[in-house]
Amino acid sequence: MRFENLKGKFFVVAHRGASGYEPENTIRAIRRAIEMGVDAVEVDVRLTKDGYPILMHDETVDRTTNGTGKVSEMTLTELRKLDAGKGEKVPLLEEALNEVKDKAVLFIEIKVPEASIPSLKLVEEKNMIDQVLFVSFNPNSLKKIKEENPFAHTGLIYAKPGDHILLAKRIECEVVLPHYRLATEKAIALAHKLKMLVVAWTIDDIKTAKLLKKRGVDGIGSNYPDLMLSLRNEDN
C-alpha cells in the first residue's frame, strides 16, 4: 500500500507489529498485523556494529531477547543468534520491507541518527519510497533523509509539549505523531491547517481511541490493532 492511500480516511498502525499478541519488532508480529488487515505497521530501526539496519526498540537487547548488550556493539551474526521471542530472530529492516511490500505502509522509526541514510538506501533499493513513512523524535534525522531524497515521506514524533507542529512543517514533514495526551482538538486543527496528518500513539483502549477519532486524528498507533480496526471499519 502507498503512503498516499492513507490520506482522507481513518487508519490503524500496528505499533511494533501486533505487539500485544506477538514479540515486538519481529516478522511474526508484522505478519500477524497484516493478517488483521492493518493499514500500516510501525517498526524501530537501529544499526548493528557492522552497519546493518535491524529492528530493535531499545539501545540494548536485554528486554526483548535472551541476550545482553548494546545493539551498536554487536555484529549482525551475533544478533541473529538471539531469540527475540517465540523462537523469532532479530529481523533485518530488509526482511520487514519484504514482508509489508504491497500489503501495508511501513512506518520506520529511526532510533539513532546513523540509521537514517542506510535505512533510506535500503528503501530506495527496494523501490518502496512511496510505501514508507520515516518517523523520528529527532528532527535532524528527518531533515537528513529529506535532503537525501525529497520524495521520502517523513513524520515527527513527540511526547512533550512544545512547538512540534510548526517545527514539523519547517522540516517538510507530512505527518505529526503526538503522544495521545497531546493530541488535542487545537493541535489537530493546527496540523490539518498546515496540511499534515495526525497519528496519535499508543492507544490500547477503545474508549480513548473513539475520543481521538472524534477529535479528528487521522490515524492511531496500537499494540492491539484488531481492536482499533472496528473504528476504521465503521467508516466503510
Catalytic residue among 57, 164, 179, 192: 57
Q: What is the pLDDT of residue 235?
A: 78
Q: What is the pLDDT of residue 234?
A: 84
Q: 104 and 41 in contact (C-beta within 8 Å)?
A: yes
CA-nearest of 142, 144, 148 to 177 is 142
**CA–CA separation, 79 vs 83, rounded Å?**
9
Secondary structure of 139-207 in HEC code, one letter for each residue: HHHHHHHHHHCCCCEEEEEECCCCCHHHHHHHCCCCEEEEEHHHCCHHHHHHHHHCCCEEEEECCCCHH
pTM of the model: 0.98
CA-nearest of 161, 176, 59, 52 to 107 is 176
Catalytic residue among 15, 153, 179, 192: 15
> 3-state class of 226 per DSSP?
helix
Low-confidence ranges of the chain (pLDDT < 50): none
User: What are 119-154's pLDDT values in tens digits?
Assistant: 999 999 999 999 999 999 999 999 999 999 999 999
Q: What is the pLDDT of residue 182?
A: 99
Q: Domain map of the chain by residue range?
A: 3-233
Q: Is 15 a catalytic residue?
A: yes
**CA–CA separation, 236 vs 143, rounded Å?**
36
The CATH number of 3-233, from 3.20.20.190, 3.30.70.3340, 2.40.128.120, 3.10.20.30, is 3.20.20.190
> What letters, b where the CB count within 10 A reaches 16 and e where it falls short, cover 32-41?
bbbebebbbb
Q: Is 164 a catalytic residue?
A: no
